[in-house]
Amino acid sequence: MDLLRQKLILLPEKPGVYLMKDRQGQIIYVGKAKTLKNRVKSYFTGSHDGKTGRLVSQITDFEYITTDSEVEALVLECNLIKKYNPKYNILLRDDKTYPYLTITEESHPRVLVTRQIKKGSGKYFGPYPNSTAAKEATRLLNRLFPFRKCRQIPAKPCLYFHLEQCLAPCIKTISPDVYQSMRKEVSTFLKGDQSGILTLLQEKMLAASEALQFERAREYRDLIEDLKQLGEKQNITLNDFVDRDVLGYAVTNDQMCIQIFYLRQGKLLARDSFIFPYYEDPEEAFISFVAQFYIERTVWPKEILLPSVETLVLANLFPVIVPQKGKKRELIQMAMTNAKTTLHDQITLEINQQSEISQALTTLGELLIIPVPKRIEAFDISNIAGTHTVAGMVQFIEGKPQRKGYRKFKIQPMEVSDDTASMRQVIMRRYSRLLSEKENLPDLILVDGGKGQVTAALKALQELDLTIPVAGMVKNDRHQTHGLIDSSGAMLPLSKSHPTFFLLGRIQDEVHRFAITFHRQQRAKNMTLSTLDNITGVGPKRKQQLLRHFSSLDDIQHASMEELQAAGVPQNTAKNIYAHFRGML
């Protein structure tokens, strides 16, 4: 702390960036400051509660970099956050660019979703706020306009031609003017003018109905409904057809929620919410978020509407506007209101969930006559007729899954092989290892099964001289959670509407899913390897080579001689593989 005090005295009264470090020298927080001396000192004066207090308690050193302006500090802060990925910063983990629709610049163009804009490669529409919105628009466009659908032009017409969703350039010569006209119609459609297309579809629906083509008429009806629903989603509109993002935020003592509305061509398409802890002035945290969110984007909307914050530093980087009145100001207010509602709902949900989990764990402890089990490890055995036996273990801490603690086990061959013997082996392996590594032991072990599995687990623990409570999760005839048995095999009274019953169901479903997924992987791998083992010239390295190239046994089985040789297999070995599988087909 003496070193920190001395460094605090030397801080300059300049803008810049500061980097907080922990005992290991790891950078745990990066921040910017208009005045470094005032900002950094604020962390070490006065009292701090909650998450800020935890951050300050871990700071043992800091560095700083001065800049010529606050704008430079903001840019540098973003770069350093991206470089060091600090524990306590706002982390935008999804740093992908916005998706766009493009009509490709090909002789026979296609409508595609892309995240990369390449000059001269096509006409782009967007950006869209997420891939779902982009794919929905693509699906509609491909049904409305007969652009090419095939990646490569085939030798004969495909189903799309017969559905009137492709002009079939594979068999006909299509004028470039036709595609140019379609591009104009797409532009009109995406700008929100759907009246012409709706009228055309209604005419086609009636014509198909009169011609007794009821399937075709129903297709047109569905398209009309999809377009009307799309119009209903876009009920907040500015008639200037401008792309803009609208941001608002709300805060509690330590949590911030930022709401972003995405308006494209003047219409609200979707929204995003971000909830995270903050460790500085709320306005500063909001400004940092905006900078991090947009600085990596290749394309920005024409306008970024923000509430009344100090935006001078952002205005030097992005097309920021702070509306004071009118429709744009109403959109800001709507974003702020939604942020407040989202934050309130999230906090309420977390409180309710935590209350239910706490109640479930307390009741579980009371039923088993043990302290409240904060750390639970659950096991399940998976096999088919005693073959390819594996086990899965999942870990729940405070009632929530901790995937870093999940473990997989291949059951080693035994003289007597059954589920109880497998359970005993897995328990022995798991907890002998924890003992040798001096790791923390669980408060409760749950096994998927009845009295036999519980007894097997207890015997293994007894051999290790461990006393850990064990209980069994019993299923009914429909393979659903039925109840809980204690170490003596007695069924414990538990209402199926109680939070403890739901918690046990989640744990049992999760461990079963984890174990059976591992079993399927092992079985598929063994089936592939055992089948290839019977072929002359195919050894371990050749198997890996084939699986890397073909991905699956089915692809290898149906591969031609040329495809096998293209995978790097010698001609004689390719003949052996080809002949082997043709004998099996």
Collapsing DSSP to helix, strand or coil, 6 comes out as helix
Residue 99: pLDDT band (50, 70, 90) is confident
For residue 43, what are the contacts with CB-CB under 8 A and spacing of at least 6? Answer: 20, 56, 59
Give pLDDT, residue 317: 86
Cβ–Cβ < 8 Å for 278, 251: yes
Find the DSSP H helices in 495-551: 499-533, 540-550
Cβ atoms < 10 Å from Cβ of 131: 14
- CA–CA distance, 18 with 31 (Å, rounded to integer): 5
- CA–CA distance, 566 with 55 (Å, rounded to integer): 57
Q: What is the pTM of this model?
A: 0.48
Give pLDDT, residue 545: 78
Give pLDDT, residue 98: 63
Task: Please state, for a pLDDT cut of 70, what percent of the chain lies above it.
Answer: 87
Residue 234: pLDDT band (50, 70, 90) is very low
Beta bridge partners of 246: 261, 305
Q: Which two tokens stand for residue 362?
A: 């307390």
Q: Which DSSP symbol is given to 237? A: B
Give pLDDT, residue 434: 93
- The residue type at 430: R
- CA–CA distance, 161 with 286 (Å, rounded to integer): 52
- Top pLDDT among 147 and 363 is at 363
Q: At residue 237, does pLDDT exceed 90?
A: no
Name which of 425, 237, 251 is nearest 344 in CA terms: 251
- The residue type at 114: T
Q: What is the mean pLDDT of residues 501-529?
A: 79
- Which of 54-68, 242-256, 258-272 shows the lowest mean pLDDT across its residues? 258-272
Q: What is the mean pLDDT of residues 361-380?
A: 93
Query: What is the Cα 215 distance to its own chain's centre?
Result: 38
- CA–CA distance, 341 with 500 (Å, rounded to integer): 30
For residue 343, what are the contacts with CB-CB under 8 A and spacing of at least 6? Answer: 250, 251, 252, 255, 256, 257, 275
Give pLDDT, residue 235: 42
- CA–CA distance, 569 with 559 (Å, rounded to integer): 12
Q: Which DSSP symbol is given to 491? A: B
Residues 295-316 have pLDDT tens digits of: 877 778 889 999 988 777 888 8
What's the whole-number average pLDDT of the chain? 81
Give pLDDT, residue 97: 57
Give pLDDT, residue 526: 60
Give pLDDT, residue 387: 61
Residue 193: pLDDT band (50, 70, 90) is low
Name which of 275, 240, 243 is nearest 129 in CA terms: 243
Give the burial string for 498-534 (b: 16+ CB within 10 Å, else e). Answer: bbbbebbebbbebbbebbeebbeebbeeeebeebbee
- CA–CA distance, 565 with 550 (Å, rounded to integer): 12
- CA–CA distance, 547 with 563 (Å, rounded to integer): 13
Give pLDDT, residue 233: 44
Q: What is the mean pLDDT of residues 336-362?
A: 84
Give pLDDT, residue 226: 66
Residues 125-178 have pLDDT tens digits of: 766 656 666 777 777 777 777 888 888 787 788 887 777 778 888 888 888 888
Give pLDDT, residue 530: 57
Find the DSSP H helices in 255-404: 282-295, 312-315, 326-368
Cβ–Cβ < 8 Å for 265, 125: no
Based on the number of CB atoms within 10 Å of its own CB, is 471 exposed (0-12), middle (13-18) or buried (19 or more)? buried
Q: What is the mean pLDDT of residues 214-234?
A: 67
Task: Please state, for a pLDDT cut of 90, what percent of the chain lies above it.
Answer: 16
Q: What is the mean pLDDT of residues 491-512?
A: 88
Q: At residue 559, does pLDDT exceed 70?
A: yes
Residues 448-488 have pLDDT tens digits of: 888 899 999 999 999 999 999 999 998 887 777 788 999 88
